[in-house]
Chains A and B, each alone.
Chain A
């Protein structure tokens, strides 16, 4: 009996041990190597600088910016990589980056870039014209899965009919020439987007795409150290960075803390130094805390109620206008955005060039709304489904509660709205199929260009993808297409202003708000300027403890 016991105990232990060992043997070598690297870099580090811990809601999916569309990724990669052109500190005007100057040809078909000299990638590779060419070759020869942004910003891949970039060639070591097949108005802004950051050709050629995205090598102020999935990403100062005196910090650690309240707790406890995704309702208490400071990110978003124009009665323009008059936007902003938002008039925020400020928004006027309904033949009202966003987004802090206010507003003019909510992925899929009567959604701009709002969200070309309302209008379509190739900025702005007038009249949306996303940080942080695109370059940031 006794002996049997010992035996079966031994077998059981073996079973447990073997599963544990089998599971961990895969990762052993890799992490061991990383540790050695870390030790070495710690010894050579300059020291003295500070470590900033940046708390955010989610983890990155990739550290290769060209391979993802997810905002969390760019928050890290903007500090590891650089683009030919960059956006200004708090706006989206284009400034020199890795290219110190550029010269467009008169017909808008050729761009010549002069590159910075003496720039090195983190792995020691020289940055030069050849590196730029190789990066563009890599993206252009890819597909939508590999480089999902490339084709949407440059009209396709190599060989595709709509592909804008005919060739990228190196002329000498520090001159790159882009030839386009047709003029593309937002071309320079596109180049400044995070996803078109120049990576070390040595690294992506040697490692292959899949390894590269977990071991990124760029020219940015920080270099990659370690990634603990769902937990933290560590980057540290790149000593050979080409811009004198930058970065100021020694190390940045991005930590994922999914719960907003827990993230604020961690900030208050001093475990993190900077937190994004702060609830509007916490703004006041942060301002009242002497150890903390509140940062407002310049707004580049829009939250709206989309009306699917293919569904009755929203195929009737008068009904859509009535909806616009019926909803009390100001009270929504006061109650759920704590006043930290502007009433939306147009489908894009005022910070984007080409915004038409002559348009007067639909005022809150239930009487007028009732009249319009009467005129449309719906004097007795109707029943509809109102889709409420199930997740908080910068442009919509609490979809369900906002939906309740809208429901009440609509009831006042005789419309019975039933609030419907689906899990997020389901919500997006069904809405994109046109299954919703009216749905809440929003958009954060990528590059501050009107095309990135109006064409993407309301053109017939994007029905089935981002035009969830199925709105189709020949006039606006022509204006958008013309604007895409118009290089004269003045003329282009006129085209978009005209389009906004038509959109206002046609009213496929009830634009609700342009919210101001909030961040909070320790009072010791200096030099932090939140960027409207949502990805913040931290090279000028310092901690003065």
Chain B
């Protein structure tokens, strides 16, 4: 097990290295000089030239690349060209914001998705099955920005139940400690604020959860159907065990493995791909951070931002792989 983890971690190195190179080359291939963008339309030519030199962009690309790699080795992710703050310091609040949102969305997606899938499989071809699967199809194909704005209109403007945008009660902001506001409010003992923070999570969380929820539901359903036809389930039922027990205890355990893979992949995608949700709900997350950096050609932020997201993506998948053996001890890694 340990050697497996070690091997996987070693495999990380070429993967991440290759990625740094690809990202590095691609962002430099698109036109747009960061110095020009940062200084804006008003800037003079000399100012742009001076800033280009100052940012080291006049050096050959390989020198820039090796400087960047050297930086990573020493834990220096570079400085944002735009805000001049070190990326390593600047990035955590953004990452935390997305983490909190993605986890919340994932919890919604997993709880609803898996149960919907199970019930659909249990009562195959029933009205519930059809409705759930049609909803799942709609869920996958619904544009997030439309869903988001409709959610704001219905639940915030018409019903007034939930806030439209942001992470916290604006007039009574949360004191950021870990930048995971749910935890911060608990640390501070502010349970009124905790409620507010959770309310702020609901709309963007639902918007973000829609697609993974639909995918998880469909995956669970098909996986469950397969398992339910197997001999041991038939045996268990023949022994007179309660259907609920058979489904949730015996069948689910075996059906969950492929679902787990999907969950891992989806969580990774949510981390980097939450741009639309973060824009609609003014969520100060990593997706928007990187997206805006692309607009400004803020090379260090793009490079390091994507690198960190990729790192978490790979780590989540590693954790998912390791989880397999807890659920199904027959899976071994040696």
Contacts and interface: CB of A to CB of B under 8 A. Distances in A.
Interface of A: 1, 4-5, 7-9, 11-12, 15-16, 19, 23-24, 26-28, 31-32, 35, 38, 51, 53, 58, 61-62, 69-70, 143-145, 148-149, 151-152, 210, 213-214, 226, 228-232, 234, 253, 255-259, 261-263, 265-266, 268-269, 271-272, 422-426, 428-430, 432, 443, 446, 456, 462, 464-466
A15 B326 CA distance: 17
A7 B2 CA distance: 10
B31 interface: yes
B282 A259 contact: yes
A428 B89 CA distance: 31
A27 B39 contact: no
5 contacts: A35-B175, A62-B84, A69-B40, A425-B37, A466-B42
Interface string B292-318: 100111000000000000001001000
B9 to A, nearest CB: 9
Given A23-B92, A23-B95, A148-B43, A231 B32 contact: no
B177 A231 contact: no
B284 A231 contact: yes
Given A144-B44, A262-B152, A234 B173 contact: yes
Contacts of B177: 28, 31-32, 35
B284 A69 contact: no
A70 B296 CA distance: 12
A274 B167 CA distance: 19
A480 to B, nearest CB: 15
B238 interface: no
B42 A144 contact: no
B90 A229 contact: yes
Given A11-B2, A24-B179, A466-B41, A262 B319 contact: no
A1 B329 contact: yes
Contact of B170 (A26, A145, A253, A265): A253
A70 B84 CA distance: 14
A9 B48 CA distance: 53
A234 B36 CA distance: 30
B36 A53 contact: no
Contacts of A425: 31-32, 36-37, 295-297
B5 interface: yes
A230 B47 contact: no
Given A31-B177, A144-B50, 7 more contacts: A23-B91, A145-B51, A148-B42, A262-B280, A265-B156, A271-B163, A426-B30
A69 B282 contact: no
A1 B292 CA distance: 49
A232 B44 contact: no
A214 B90 CA distance: 12
Contact of A258 (B2, B32, B282): B282
Contact of B41 (A145, A213, A443): A443
Given A262-B164, A429-B31, A443-B41, A24 B178 contact: yes
B164 A271 contact: yes
A429 B51 contact: no
Contacts of B31: 422, 425-426, 429-430
Contacts of A28: 177
Given A26-B92, A443-B41, A145 B50 contact: yes
Nearest to A272: B170
A350 B48 CA distance: 31
Given A27-B93, A258-B282, A271 B166 contact: yes
Contacts of B37: 425, 428
A266 B296 contact: no
User: Is chain B's interface secondary structure helix, strand, loop, or mixed overall?
Assistant: helix
Interface string B105-116: 000000000000
B54 interface: yes
Contacts of A268: 157
Contacts of B54: 143, 145
B43 A465 contact: yes
Interface of B: 1-2, 5, 30-33, 36-37, 39-48, 50-51, 54, 82-85, 88-97, 145, 148-149, 152-153, 156-157, 160, 163-167, 170-171, 173, 175-179, 279-282, 284, 288-289, 292, 295-297, 312, 315, 319, 322, 325-326, 329
Contacts of A255: 165-166, 170, 282
Nearest to A234: B173
B207 to A, nearest CB: 11
B157 A269 contact: yes
B97 to A, nearest CB: 8
A15 B281 CA distance: 32
B50 to A, nearest CB: 4
B167 A231 contact: yes
A23 B177 CA distance: 12
Contacts of B42: 69, 148-149, 152, 446, 456, 466
Contact of A428 (B36, B148, B149): B36
Contact of A24 (B96, B148, B282): B96
Contacts of A151: 44, 46-47
Contacts of A15: 315, 319
Contact of B47 (A26, A145, A428): A145
A8 B91 CA distance: 30
A16 B83 contact: no
Contact of A426 (B32, B157, B284, B315): B32
A144 B297 CA distance: 19
Nearest to A149: B42
Contacts of B157: 265, 268-269
A31 B184 CA distance: 12
B156 A269 contact: yes
B287 to A, nearest CB: 11
A144 B39 CA distance: 9
A144 B315 contact: no
B316 to A, nearest CB: 9
Contacts of B288: 230, 258
A16 B320 CA distance: 12
A266 B179 contact: no
Contact of A257 (B46, B175, B282): B282
B176 A228 contact: yes
Given A51-B171, A69-B39, A265-B164, A148 B47 contact: yes
A266 B296 CA distance: 27
A263 B173 CA distance: 19
Contacts of B176: 27, 31, 228
A465 B175 contact: no
B93 A213 contact: no
Given A262-B280, A271-B163, A429-B31, A53 B43 contact: no
A253 B171 contact: yes
A27 B86 CA distance: 12
A12 B93 CA distance: 24
A292 B202 CA distance: 27
A231 B101 CA distance: 15
Nearest to A60: B83
A470 B1 CA distance: 67
A280 B98 CA distance: 32
A277 to B, nearest CB: 13
Contacts of A466: 41-42
| A-B pairs with lowest CB-CB distance, top 3 | A425-B32, A144-B47, A230-B284
Contact of B319 (A12, A24, A263): A12
Contacts of A424: 295
A447 to B, nearest CB: 11
A24 B40 contact: no
A433 to B, nearest CB: 9
Contacts of B322: 8, 12
Contacts of A234: 173
A464 B44 CA distance: 9
Contact of B175 (A4, A31, A456): A31
Given A425-B297, A429-B31, A232 B173 contact: yes
